[in-house]
Amino acid sequence: MTYHYRSSLLLWLLLPTWMFCQPDSLSMVRRMQWFKEAKLGIFIHWGIYAVKGIDESWSFYNEYLSHDDYLKQTEGFTASRYMPEEWARLIKSSGAKYTVITTRHHDGFSLWDTQGSELKAPNSAAKRDVLTPFVQAVRDQGIKLGLYYSLPDWSYVDYPNETRNSKRYEPGKEPPRWGHFLNYYQGQLDELQRAYHPDLWWFDGDWEFNADQWQAAKVRKHLLEENPDVIINSRLAGHGDYATPEQGLPVRKPEDPYWELCMTMNDSWGYQPNDTNYKSSRQVIQIFADVIGMGGNLLLDIGPKADGSIPAEQSRILLDLGRWTQKHQEAIYGTEAGLPPGYFNGPSTLSADRETLYLFLPYDPQGQIELRGVKNEINRIRIVGEGTKLDHQVLMKPYWSTHAGLIYIDVPEYVLDHDVTVIAVQLKGKLELE
């Protein structure tokens, strides 16, 4: 008895501390709210690699060309047709609620006028800071700002790794030199924080060293002190807020309550004219539906050219996406993950009040679609963004049965969207599944 009493007292004393430490504590839920509702972000990989149209940073790291030849690209980074307001307008019109731009990739080339390094846009053919006007344009459009920042800087004299086969030193053997690098990178974060007040930090490259070596806990604490609302992606060596699967669409709903799939439109992050393996707008939209159906966000990448223009194929996809997200807003923003596998043959989302199911038709349906295991009675079924009321039939649900029955919905061809059709199933009450 005493023992039980004591242990439950201890539990009550410890509960607040425990709750505070949980990733899903109330403050976490509040902080992550806009991100959870946003669903779509646009990633921007812009840097000197766009000059030759080669792999960002990796091309010299993997020794496909020399570091010197790679850096010569600064002479071709003109930004002569760069219109940041156009970028921001295009991003907004795609339906994205946030954007993440590469302020500095692994090659160390900074888009802003950093005091930490000479390798920066003002010293390139552009002769100016190209980040500040973009941030301004993003703010003007009311979009949330994410800053991508690579922890590694393979060009920096005090960074251990130079290329795959060439190491400058080992951090453990030369702590002061490593300390010098830590000061440099943390100083750059301070510059970015003070100048741009990002809503989200998107770190990358943490795999090169461990959390202690990066001082990840300290960096996280510092960034949250600077801005208690800021969100940090997973790539700060285990000190982030959400998971970042890359390129591969998860097959099952990820366990992490917050996640974001980052994905290229073709196979490259930066501009590579020789890479024509573009996904169609429809494929991008289908993938987007799959992602939000599993409760995640899509961070879709564009790679502007060295002159600052956005390749036509990429702006086409953004505009097509914009038409579709505009038409289907209610099925996208602020929704939750939809039905688990087996209930419907395709992705679905659920309205925040849990009374409307949105079904994303994964193919051109041949007349009827089938929904299983939904116990609710149905108020109305309609085509999202179009209005047509659809007929349905409930089978295998005689009055004496407790089973949910099968719901068949007739979808006439003339209501189909040429990308992905969405059906709203308005339920009586909150969704109840068998």
C-alpha–C-alpha distance, residues 300 and 314, integer Å: 10
Are 424 and 330 spatial neighbours (Cβ–Cβ below 8 Å)?
yes
Binding pattern for the stretch 23-52 against ligand GLC, x by CB under 6 A and - elsewhere: ----------------------x-------
The yes or no reply on residue 204 touching ligand GLC (CB under 6 A) is: yes
The yes or no reply on residue 107 touching ligand GLC (CB under 6 A) is: no
Closer CB to ligand GLC, residue 45 or residue 305? 45
C-alpha–C-alpha distance, residues 372 and 434, integer Å: 9
Closer CB to ligand GLC, residue 159 or residue 358? 159
C-alpha–C-alpha distance, residues 204 and 209, integer Å: 12
The yes or no reply on residue 153 touching ligand GLC (CB under 6 A) is: no
Binding pattern for the stretch 338-367 against ligand GLC, x by CB under 6 A and - elsewhere: ------------------------------
C-alpha–C-alpha distance, residues 173 and 155, integer Å: 20
Closer CB to ligand GLC, residue 118 or residue 246? 246
Least distance to ligand GLC from the beta carbon of 62, Å? 11
C-alpha–C-alpha distance, residues 59 and 163, integer Å: 10
In 3D space, the residue among 257, 258, 276 whose CA is nearest the CA of residue 268 turns out to be 276
Task: Please report, as a single letter, which amino acid is at residue 304.
Answer: P
Closer CB to ligand GLC, residue 264 or residue 315? 264
Least distance to ligand GLC from the beta carbon of 156, Å? 16
C-alpha–C-alpha distance, residues 409 and 394, integer Å: 9
Closer CB to ligand GLC, residue 105 or residue 328? 105
Element holding 407 (H helix, E strand): strand 406-410
Among 118, 140, 212, 246, which residue interacts with ligand GLC (rule: CB under 6 A)?
Answer: 246
Q: Given the DSSP bridges, would you call strands 422-427 and 378-383 parallel, antiparallel or unpaired?
A: antiparallel
Closer CB to ligand GLC, residue 96 or residue 262? 262
The yes or no reply on residue 269 touching ligand GLC (CB under 6 A) is: yes
Phi, psi (5° rounding) for residue 180?
Answer: -65, -40
Least distance to ligand GLC from the beta carbon of 244, Å? 7
C-alpha–C-alpha distance, residues 25 and 35, integer Å: 16
Place of tokens 């946030």: 98
Least distance to ligand GLC from the beta carbon of 178, Å? 21
Least distance to ligand GLC from the beta carbon of 288, Å? 17
Least distance to ligand GLC from the beta carbon of 49, Å? 9
Among 40, 56, 240, 286, which residue interacts with ligand GLC (rule: CB under 6 A)?
Answer: 56
Task: Please report, as a single letter, which amino acid is at residue 172.
Answer: G
Q: How many residues bind ligand GLC (CB under 6 A)?
A: 6
The yes or no reply on residue 260 touching ligand GLC (CB under 6 A) is: no
Closer CB to ligand GLC, residue 262 or residue 284? 262
Q: Residue 57 contacts by C-beta under 8 Å, 6 or more apart in sequence?
A: 47, 49, 105, 106, 107, 150, 154
Least distance to ligand GLC from the beta carbon of 45, Å? 6
Task: Count CB neighbours of 434 within 10 A.
Answer: 11
Q: What share of residues in the chain are helix, strand, coil (percent, to 5)?
A: 35, 20, 45
C-alpha–C-alpha distance, residues 39 and 333, integer Å: 6
The yes or no reply on residue 60 touching ligand GLC (CB under 6 A) is: no
Q: Residue 198 contacts by C-beta under 8 Å, 6 or more apart in sequence?
A: 145, 146, 147, 192, 227, 230
The yes or no reply on residue 262 touching ligand GLC (CB under 6 A) is: yes
Least distance to ligand GLC from the beta carbon of 217, Å? 21
**Which two structure tokens, joined as six digits, stand for 414?**
């003339």
- Site residues for ligand GLC per CB under 6 A: 45, 56, 204, 246, 262, 269
